[in-house]
Amino acid sequence: MGNMLKTAVLMASITALFVALGALLGGRQGMVLALMFALVGNAFSYWFSDSLVLRMYNAREVDAHSAPQFYGLVQQLAQRAGMPMPRVYVIDEDAPNAFATGRNPEHAAVAATTGLLRVLDTNQVRGVMAHELSHVRHRDILISTIGATMAGAISALANFALFFGGRDENGRAVNPIAGIALAVLAPLAAGLIQMAISRAREFEADRGAAELTGDPLALAGALRRIEAIAQHGLPFAAAEEHPATAQMMIVNPLLGGGIARLFSTHPSTDERVEALTRLAQR
């Protein structure tokens, strides 16, 4: 299944889960309240996430004079993609990584750590930044915000059920055992769907980067290098202080194994490299 179609199916799934849970636990009124509660929090995130995240990472904006090679590389990619020029930032961290933020291509920013610019060659940096521009081009911030809104609404309904008990559309009390089971399992299911959406968007951004640069193997090499350094224990202090932002990075800086992979916002690097290698072979 193509990643765009997969995203659409997953978005429909999380919406259906919300509707079903709302109907069983809160009725129509409960659904509306939960959705409004989630919308308020995520609307703020959608409009102001770029400035908040850049401030969290102490990112400094650069231009053609302060970082001519890096800025020029991003500028060339943006022109090739037919996109507005994003703001460009550098983060003073040894751990190699990068991310994009902004609600749309007209209000976007890309950032890379000094470690990434130091350890990757020019073609690999180009691949990484093409990946980040693909996120902007595909409006992945909007998609992830909608997913987070629905997941937040499901959690709100579940919390309501745990504390006050569920009510169906006709106001009758829901079976308490069924209510508790739904309250526990629904947020878990929503979280898994949200992670799956994020993983599908990573594959799509990798494909977009390969098309934009014409060099899938450069991005594959960059992913290998970034993960290898992370696995050797080089800390990314800002990401550890703000773990919720780790999903924005091109490679998750908070690597984990076992069951943690089930809840990972990123596909495994092996899967991503394999997909990029297939693109290169075409």
User: Residues near 265 by Cβ (< 8 Å), separated by ≥ 6?
Assistant: 195, 198, 199, 202, 246, 247, 252
What is the Cα–Cα distance from 253 to 256, expressed in whole angstroms?
Answer: 9
Instruction: Identify the active-site residue in 93, 132, 202, 204.
Output: 132
Query: Tell me, what's the pLDDT at 259?
Result: 47
Query: Tell me, what's the pLDDT at 74?
Result: 98
The structure tokens 């302060």 sit at: 66
The residue among 228, 227, 209 whose CA lies nearest residue 218 is 209
Query: Tell me, what's the pLDDT at 140?
Result: 84
Structure tokens at 178: 């069924």
Query: Tell me, what's the pLDDT at 121?
Result: 97
Compute how many other C-beta atoms are within 10 angstroms of the C-beta atom of residue 62: 18
Structure tokens at 213: 């640069």
What is the Cα–Cα distance from 117 to 98, expressed in whole angstroms?
Answer: 10
Decide if 126 contacts 77 (C-beta within 8 A).
yes
User: Residues near 94 by Cβ (< 8 Å), separated by ≥ 6?
Assistant: 113, 114, 115, 234
Structure tokens at 154: 């499901």
| Catalytic (active site) residue 93 | no
Decide if 187 contacts 158 (C-beta within 8 A).
yes
Query: Tell me, what's the pLDDT at 250?
Result: 94
Task: Give the range of the structural domain holding residue 201, as residue numbers without chain letter.
Answer: 3-281
What is the Cα–Cα distance from 208 to 197, expressed in whole angstroms?
Answer: 16
Structurally, the chain folds into a number of domains equal to 1
Instruction: Let me know the angle formed at the C-alpha of 188 by 103 and 14, rounded to the nearest 5 degrees.
Output: 50
What is the Cα–Cα distance from 207 to 132, expressed in whole angstroms?
Answer: 11
What is the Cα–Cα distance from 42 to 49, expressed in whole angstroms?
Answer: 10
pTM of the predicted structure, to 2 decimals: 0.78
What is the Cα–Cα distance from 135 to 142, expressed in whole angstroms?
Answer: 10
Structure tokens at 239: 């990401």
Decide if 86 contacts 109 (C-beta within 8 A).
yes
Query: Tell me, what's the pLDDT at 253?
Result: 84
Q: 98: which strand partners?
A: 112
- DSSP letter at 94 equals S
Instruction: Give the chain's residues under pLDDT 70.
Output: 1-4, 6-7, 11, 21-31, 33-35, 37-46, 48-49, 145-149, 157, 160-183, 244, 255-263
